[in-house]
Structures are given as C-alpha cells and as structure tokens.
Amino acid sequence: MVLEDNRILITGVTSQVALPVARELAKKNEVFGLARFRKAEDRERIEALGVTCVRADLSERLDSVPADVDYVLNFAVAKSPNADFDYDLSANAESVGRLMAHCRDAKAFLHSSSAAVYQGAGHQPVRETDPLGDNHRVMMPTYSLSKIAAEVMARFGAKQWNLPTTIARFSVPYGNNGGWPWYHLMMMKAGHPIPVHIDAPSDYSPIHEDDYTAQIPKLLEIASVPATTLNWGGSEIVSIEQWCAYIGELTGFEPRFNPTEQTIAALPVDVSRLEAHVGKTQVHWRDGIRRMIETLNPELLIGS
C-alpha cells in the first residue's frame, strides 16, 4: 500500500513522534495536523512542512476538524502535570470515541497506544495477549490507565462505526526529533544520574522514526473490524544501560546510573505479530542513536 493523494488527519502533530510522520506524508498527500497550537512557533513549524494546521482540543467539540478524510492517525496524548484522572481520561480516552465518531467514514483509523498498557513480565518480551496493568504509575500516575481506556474506546469505535482500526502499542520511539535516549544524553551532559530499575538491565524495544514512519501504510492496510492490535517496537531489544554506554562512546560523557524501584521496570515487547504483518525494522539502534546526536547535538560528538 502506497499513501499518495489522500486526505490524512494527524492528531498530536507537534509531538516528537508525530512530526516526522507528518513531514513524510505531506510530501504526497494532503495532511491536516491537529493540535492545540498554543505557541505560534509550533504552527509555523508545522505549516513549513506543507501541513494544514487545525487548532482543536480533542476533549472538546470538533467542529473545526475536517471529517471528510481518508485516514486518521491518532498520536495525541495528554499528561496533566497534577495527575488529574478526570481530565486525562477525557483527553486520552473519551477523545478517541469523539474523533472516531467525527471521522467515521474514513478508510482506516490508526490509534497510537503504548506498551504502558502491560502488567510487565520482567525481562520476558510481552505479547499482545499478556495481562494489562499499571506499569507507569511510579512516573506518570494516569498514563497506563488512560492508555488502556483509550484502547477500549478504539475497540468500541471500530465496531460501532464499522471503522477499520489498528491499535499499535509503541515501545520507545526515538529519532532525529528526540525521544527517551536524547533525554538521557541531556542528563549525561548535565552530570545527572539516570534512573534505572534495580532489576537490571532496563530492556526495551526502541524503534527509530524512519522505521515507524515507513510502517504507517502497512499498519493502515491491516486495519480491521474488530480492531487489529499489535506491538510497535524495534526488532532489537536494547537496554537503557546499553544505549547510554554507546552515547558515552560517541560524546565522552560518562553515564551514571541510579538503580531504584521508583522508575519503570524493563518492558521489552514481542514484535512477532508486527514482523509477520508489517515487516522487520531496518535501522540498527546504534545507527539511530548516532544519527540522533548528529542531527540534534553535533557539537557534543567527540572530534566535532
């Protein structure tokens, strides 16, 4: 499936994850980028990509949002600073139903979820059928529960409006627009210790923006009723300790770790279903980390 000459609505378009997707799809499609756009520079940056900006809050009415679109990519997420469950459940879960109802005639709906929905199984990669849980509570109290509720709403919406849907549970998205490894780089630069769980190593399945952007067409192609649910991560399992050590090799910064129970434990994902339906990821994590630093902070590289 090739995405060309379509009308595509992308929510959360100013985010680290969605912006590269919007940039790529806008080359051959008419893309509408939905966000709150509280900062003028955010709107200018998105418009510069050839994206039509739509200012809206998914927790409210969607009168300004185009309904006659071919595809919807829902990357919007809200994390209130004071862990307001009422607001976060409305902004993350109710909003999915509101958006699906508004765009019920779309060809397919992609809902970006998270591995935060899982109970977690130590260092064993979690599968789509594994128990759900509240694994992010120590850092983001509302996040896991909001993501689970949003998935329920997406499943309901797919059946209610016969809207083919894919629910993709992200592991650690990163790339030239930032991500968790970049925050660790900033912590290393500042000399701050990096929290890692005492049950080492802190394994995850990071996926580079080039890979997840390239997988969008196939994820839409496999959308179904009932919704298709799969993990969305890289084909390599990598730990925080590993990628920080490599960042240290590239920059000369020495990573310091703070083993604690007050952080997210290892959460690698089983990507067998993703690879069977969509394909393996192509960007090796070391290459992705190096390119991230070359793009965002080239001055920090040894020999720069």
R_g of the chain computed on alpha carbons: 19
**Average pLDDT, whole number, for the chain?**
96
What's the CA gap between 33 and 29, in Å, rounded?
12
Determine contact, residues 89/146, Cβ cutoff 8 Å.
Answer: yes
Q: What percent of the chain has pLDDT over 70?
A: 100
User: Whole-structure pTM over 0.85, yes or no?
Assistant: yes
* pLDDT for residue 78 is more than 90: no
Q: Strand, helix or coil at 191?
A: coil
What pLDDT does 100 receive? 98
pLDDT > 90? residue 304: no
pLDDT at 262 over 90: yes
- Cβ-Cβ contacts under 8 Å for 266 (sequence gap 6 or more): 120, 122, 123, 197, 199, 201, 202, 203, 204, 239
Residues 6+ apart with CB under 8 A from 260: 195, 196, 197, 198
List the structure tokens of 261.
């129970």
Q: Name the band, by pLDDT with cuts 50, 70 and 90, for residue 21.
A: very high
- Map out the domains of the chain with their CATH numbers: 7-300 (3.40.50.720)
> For position 296, what pLDDT does the model report?
98
Could you tell me the pLDDT band of residue 240, with boundaries at 50, 70 and 90? very high
Over residues 280-298, the pLDDT tens digits come to: 999 999 999 999 999 999 9
